[in-house]
Amino acid sequence: MTTTRRPTLLAWIGGLLASAALLTTMVARPTSADEGGEGDDPALDRARAEVKMLDALYKTAVVSITERYQRGQPAIMVAKDVFGAMDELGHHSARLVDASQAPLGEQTSPETDFERRAAEAMRRGESYVEEVAGEGPDRRLLAATVVPAVHRRCASCHGVEEGDLLGFIRYELPIR
């Protein structure tokens, strides 16, 4: 999988720092007609803001670990521990999913319909995908934010070029 983009850390995180205008052009929003944009649904806006914050936090941590600890286990091992703890504590669910179709992990291929749709969208060049699932108090925001090989170490361990698409972080959190 080759892209011409060579994203910086900020551009990578910035994939999600999209405005309402950009959000409306993003794929996989099944009911955009009644969901509306920013402002119409404050609970949805709060969930989106939480995803933005988490995305910046996780990605900054993963890249920092990759840069500062040049040997040993990949940063994803730490990310997986943190994802697990957040899920167990009932805060949110997050998972690193492959979109390259050549995953290093045995359990990182897309598993759900949303993850499959998000992987396809990332391969088409999207950097953010979201869907709203459930009704009323069970409403949940499903979001996927792109993860390219943003550092030379990512590229060399994954056997791709710097900047190539590796996958995405899939978030699921309650809308409340």
Enter the tokens of residue 136: 């009323």
Q: Nearer to ligand HEC by C-beta: 25 or 101?
A: 101
Which of 37-45, 47-55, 118-126, 143-151 is the region at the interface with ligand HEC (rule: CB under 6 A)?
143-151
Q: Is 173 left (phi over 0), alpha (psi -120 to 50) or beta?
A: beta
In one letter, which amino acid is 162? E
Q: How far is the CB of 32 from ligand HEC (least distance, A)?
A: 28
Window 94 to 123, contacts with ligand HEC (CB under 6 A):
96, 98, 103-105, 107-108
- By CB under 6 A, tell whether 127 contacts ligand HEC: no
For 124, the token pair is 């088409």
Q: How far apart are CA 104 and CA 27, in angstroms?
A: 27
Pick the binder of ligand HEC from 13, 18, 51, 76 (CB under 6 A).
76
**Residue 47 vs 149, nearer CB to ligand HEC:** 149
DSSP of 104-154: SSSS-S--SHHHHHHHHHHHTT-SEEEEEES-GGG-EEEEEEEEE--SHHH
Residues of this chain that interact with ligand HEC (CB under 6 A) are 62-63, 66, 74-76, 96, 98, 103-105, 107-108, 147, 149-151, 153-154, 157-158, 166-167
